């Protein structure tokens, strides 16, 4: 199937019926997809929705690395993006998208992503590189995202974590020697709603003995002593120290598995914001989000302060994180509370993508750029990423994942069957 080039796209627009490059052009792209003139597996994006999205020019920001032994290259931190068209086969209908994910394909994607990330040639060697000092009996926590699981059954079709990428990670951990009973999958959100993990997610786990922890069902979900401290700006609303969940406090290692989503309050909700489910009352922090709704909060946004940085600077998060793995099998570019919708930049289909990095800021920048290519983000979305770089949490750089790439980040794209 031929790929639509940028030149061909521009030519098509020129001879078309008045469509502009700055517009969404959904009808045009849908027609291409239906006639087979557009390859949905191509990494090349078709159109940026609006030229007012955050800058995509590579910066000269120096590389910072704060995670344990991040994989680097002469160009900085490595971020691996793996795509496989066979990973999902959902038609964006009314049935649950989670019934349309191929575990075998996801296993191949995770193995490929981790070997590329660590510079190894096998799954065993990749996990050996990620956990070089692992000792029997140590615990691993996996932070997933279930912000849309709002009722007992949690059986809706809104975007939430999928079990298949988690299964692939657990497989590698178990082979490394981690006991299933020492693996904790968690999202202990307690804010506007009491966090839950859907029964269908737990039932899909390929391993017995794994612990699943949410706010609902936990007797003492939060630590009495370990808390997140917020260094709020002078004169701004103070945020009290908020307790971390016990799963995270008791873990020796942490794997962060956000979903690639946009967000009306913060612009994006990725790895940093995923930790809103790692401590109690994350809603208190929304007074400092760029899209803070004044009808709900007493807003006081400051472009030089983000509670997301204070959260990640906590030693239980900063020092324990060995891997960030972004789930963009479906993702949510349009709304973080809706069911998944097709992505124009991925050929009006599902992204079928996973992202891998040891550097939490570098991967956050790349995933933000992928979202920025698809939709308009809040102008202040970039602020917390810049602050994360200044805090030496990782490599801050905005770039173009579809074309010019990056100067400081080594961005590796891999297409597999």
Q: Is 156 inside a domain boundary?
A: yes
Q: What average pLDDT does this structure show over 400-415? A: 95
Q: Is 139 inside a domain boundary?
A: yes
pLDDT at 299: 85
Q: How would residue 48 be classed by pLDDT, with cut points 50, 70 and 90?
A: very low
End-to-end, the C-alpha distance of the chain in Å comes to 15
134 shares a domain with 4: no
401 shares a domain with 285: yes
CATH number at residue 68: 3.40.50.11440
CA 329/CA 286 separation, integer angstroms = 28
57 shares a domain with 3: no
Q: Is 253 inside a domain boundary?
A: yes
3-state helix, strand, coil in the chain (%, to 5): 30, 20, 50
Give the H or E element holding residue 76.
strand 76-84
Q: Is 224 inside a domain boundary?
A: yes
Q: Kindly report the backbone phi and psi dihedral angles of residue 374, in degrees, each rounded to the nearest multiple of 5, phi listed first.
A: -100, -35
254 shares a domain with 115: yes
Inter-residue long-range contacts of 28-33, CB under 8 Å, 24+ positions, other chains counted: 29/344, 29/347, 29/348, 30/348, 32/4, 32/348, 33/347, 33/348, 33/349
pTM of the model: 0.84
Q: Is the pLDDT of residue 277 over 80?
A: yes
346 shares a domain with 396: yes
- Cβ–Cβ < 8 Å for 340, 350: yes
Q: What is the pLDDT of residues 185-226, one digit of tens each?
A: 999 999 988 999 999 999 999 999 999 999 999 999 999 999
CA 414/CA 286 separation, integer angstroms = 36
Q: What is the pLDDT of residues 368-401, one digit of tens each?
A: 999 999 999 999 999 999 999 999 999 999 999 9
Structural tokens at position 282: 């994350």
213 shares a domain with 91: yes
Alpha helices, DSSP H, located in 133-254 = 163-176, 199-203, 246-250
Alpha helices, DSSP H, located in 83-162 = 103-118, 123-130
Q: Is 44 inside a domain boundary?
A: no
pLDDT at 130: 98
How far from the centroid of its chain's Cα atoms is residue 20's Cα? 31
pLDDT at 297: 74
322 shares a domain with 232: yes
Q: What is the pLDDT of residues 90-102, one digit of tens each?
A: 999 999 999 999 9
165 shares a domain with 63: yes
412 shares a domain with 299: yes
Query: Poorest-confidence range of 73-82, 346-355, 358-367?
Result: 73-82
Residues contacting 93, CB < 8 A, separation 6+ = none
16 shares a domain with 56: no
Average pLDDT across the chain, whole number? 85
Q: Is 267 inside a domain boundary?
A: yes
Q: Is 79 inside a domain boundary?
A: yes
User: How many CA atoms lie within 13 Å of 382's alpha carbon, on the beta-carbon side?
Assistant: 14
Query: Poorest-confidence range of 53-57, 110-114, 324-328, 377-381?
Result: 53-57
Q: How would residue 73 be classed by pLDDT, with cut points 50, 70 and 90?
A: very low
- Cβ–Cβ < 8 Å for 363, 271: yes
Alpha helices, DSSP H, located in 159-263 = 163-176, 199-203, 246-250
- Cβ–Cβ < 8 Å for 226, 316: yes
Q: Is 242 inside a domain boundary?
A: yes
332 shares a domain with 215: yes
Q: Is the pLDDT of residue 29 over 90?
A: no
- Identify the domain containing residue 289 by its residue range: 49-416
Q: How many domains does the chain have?
A: 2
23 shares a domain with 131: no
């Amino acid at each position: 199937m031929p790929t639509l080039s940028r030149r061909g796209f521009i030519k098509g627009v020129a001879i078309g019926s008045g469509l502009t490059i700055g517009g969404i052009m959904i009808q045009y792209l849908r027609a291409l997809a239906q006639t087979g003139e557009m390859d949905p597996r191509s990494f090349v994006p078709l159109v940026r929705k609006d030229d007012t999205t955050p800058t995509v020019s590579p910066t000269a920001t120096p590389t910072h690395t704060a995670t344990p032994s991040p994989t680097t290259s002469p160009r900085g931190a490595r971020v691996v993006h793996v795509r496989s068209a066979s990973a999902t086969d959902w038609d964006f209908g009314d049935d649950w998208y989670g019934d349309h994910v191929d575990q075998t394909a996801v296993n191949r994607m995770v193995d490929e992503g981790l070997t590329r990330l660590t510079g190894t040639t096998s799954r065993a060697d990749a996990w050996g590189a990620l956990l070089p000092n692992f000792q029997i009996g140590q615990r691993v926590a996996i932070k997933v995202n279930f912000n849309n699981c709002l009722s007992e059954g949690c059986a809706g079709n809104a975007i939430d974590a999928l079990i298949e990428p988690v299964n692939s990670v657990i497989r590698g951990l178990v082979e490394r020697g981690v006991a299933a009973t020492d693996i904790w999958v968690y999202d202990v959100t307690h804010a506007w709603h009491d966090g839950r993990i859907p029964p269908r997610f737990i039932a899909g786990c390929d391993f017995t003995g794994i612990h699943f922890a949410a706010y609902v069902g936990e007797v003492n979900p939060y630590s009495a002593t370990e808390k997140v401290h917020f260094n709020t700006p002078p004169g701004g609303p103070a945020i009290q120290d908020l307790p971390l969940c016990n799963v995270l406090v008791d873990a020796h290692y942490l794997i962060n598995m956000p979903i690639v989503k946009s967000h009306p309050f913060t612009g994006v909700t990725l790895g940093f914001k995923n930790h809103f489910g790692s401590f109690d009352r994350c809603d208190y922090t929304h007074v400092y989000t760029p899209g803070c709704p004044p009808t709900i909060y007493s807003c006081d946004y400051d472009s030089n302060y983000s509670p997301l940085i204070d959260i990640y600077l906590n030693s239980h998060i900063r020092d324990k994180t060995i891997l960030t793995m972004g789930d963009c099998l479906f993702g949510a570019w349009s709304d973080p509370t809706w069911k998944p919708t097709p992505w124009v930049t991925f050929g009006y289909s599902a992204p079928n993508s996973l992202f891998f990095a040891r550097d939490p800021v570098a991967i956050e920048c790349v995933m933000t750029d992928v979202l920025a290519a698809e939709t308009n983000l809040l102008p202040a979305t970039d602020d917390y990423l810049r602050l994360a770089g200044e805090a030496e949490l990782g490599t801050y750089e905005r770039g173009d994942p579809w074309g010019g790439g990056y100067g400081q980040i080594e961005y590796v794209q891999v297409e597999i069957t």
